[in-house]
Amino acid sequence: MSPDPAHGTPPGTPAASAGPAVSAPEAHVMVGNADLFVNWSRKSSLWYLLFATACCGIELMQAGASRYDMDRFGAVFRATPRQSDLMLVAGTITHKMAERVKRLYDQMPEPKYVIAMGSCANTGGPFYKDSYCVVKGVDLLIPVDVYIPGCPPRPEALIDGILRLQKIIMKKKNYGVKA
């Protein structure tokens, strides 16, 4: 192998004629925090379940489309809970739908996160008072990590929610001693 005249030889590289090197430049060692690495991987590919039950779904769609492009943050939609890490509950949940929401959540593999998007998913919203059919907040069914207010929230708010969830994920301890 002849040295490339344009780039030259990197400093510290033993000459080819000097025999076998003590430590080859190709041998890399990375020392780091395993939690940091795992959390970084998880937050960088938050695939969300495409699950929309009301008008928030329209905002969710345009947040995923090219203008707001949640793909920039690693969030792409999946059509099945088996491939999803994040459940974005976008819209009103009725008691008839509640059973299905719970089942979809149970079908998602761990680790899984939930964002409640919009007033209906947070508290029941405009249906909070005097409604027999609307669940008063999706946190009555499944654990929620981030609540996004708005009726419906704008895509900027949704992206802010995703970024907040990413911050939450970065603080998780996966390999620490369990209490």
Contact between 140 and another protein per CB under 8 A: yes
Q: Interface mask (CB under 8 A) for another protein, residues 86-115, using x and -?
A: ---------xx-xx----------------
- Specify the DSSP class assigned to residue 110: S
| Stretch binding another protein (CB under 8 A), from 1-9, 24-32, 42-50, 134-142 | 134-142
Pairing of strands 86-90, 146-148: unpaired
How far from each other are the two terminal CA atoms of the chain, in whole angstroms? 56
Burial 121-138 (b: 16+ CB within 10 A, else e): bbbbbebeeeeeebbbbb
- Of 61, 76, 104, 141, the one binding another protein (CB under 8 A) is 141
Smallest separation (angstroms) from another protein to the CB of 31: 49
Q: State the DSSP H helix or E strand holding residue 62, giving kind and residue range, or none if neither.
A: helix 56-64
| Stretch binding another protein (CB under 8 A), from 20-28, 106-114, 129-137, 157-165 | 129-137
Binding site for another protein (CB under 8 A): 95-96, 98-99, 132-133, 135-136, 140-141
